[in-house]
Amino acid sequence: MGLEIERKFLVKKELLPKQLPEGDELEQGYLSVEPTVRVRLVTGHDGTRHAELTIKGRGQVSRPEFNYPIPHEDAEALLRMCSRTLRKVRRELGRFTLDHFRERDLWLAEIELGDERESFERPAWLAEEVTHDPDYSNSRLATPRRAG
């Protein structure tokens, strides 16, 4: 069984490095939120594409997580079936994954840990922790899919 141990933070965008790494475009949708069943289509900055189906159990810091690669054509079809979707740009910055939700001008940083008690260095651009705030979960940030 896969286990995700992750903490999530708001970002002080004005303190981010001026030159950020190139990001990947992510589109993801939710087939279910209880349990979370997500489909994700990633378009790399180099134009390559890959996709996965992810199932996540309950939990905020630690939770079961299962990832399955799927053909990107299947992801496109599954995304059309999702009632909630979102788009974001994802970058890697040190140990952190940095997500920019451009439609909301929201920046979030996540760090994957080996243990819930693991310590880590907090960069100056890291703001308040929102791991336990459901309003910052991706499934909550996803908006109802528009018809069409």
pLDDT at 34: 87
Structure tokens at 79: 């995304």
Q: How many domains does the chain have?
A: 1
Q: pTM of the prediction?
A: 0.91
CA 143/CA 138 separation, integer angstroms: 10
CA 17/CA 109 separation, integer angstroms: 14
* Domain membership of residue 99 as a residue range: 3-144
Structure tokens at 65: 């997580």
Q: How do residues 25-41 score in pLDDT, each as one tens digit?
A: 999 999 998 899 999 99
Q: How do residues 89-122 score in pLDDT, each as one tens digit?
A: 999 999 999 999 999 999 999 999 999 999 999 9
CA 79/CA 52 separation, integer angstroms: 11
pLDDT band of 144, cuts 50, 70, 90: confident
CA 43/CA 66 separation, integer angstroms: 21
User: Which has the closest alpha carbon to 11: 118, 113, 111, 120?
Assistant: 111
Exposure string for 52-74, b = 16+ CB within 10 A, e = fewer: bbbbbeeeeeebebeeeebebee
- The CATH number given to whatever domain includes residue 69 is 2.40.320.10
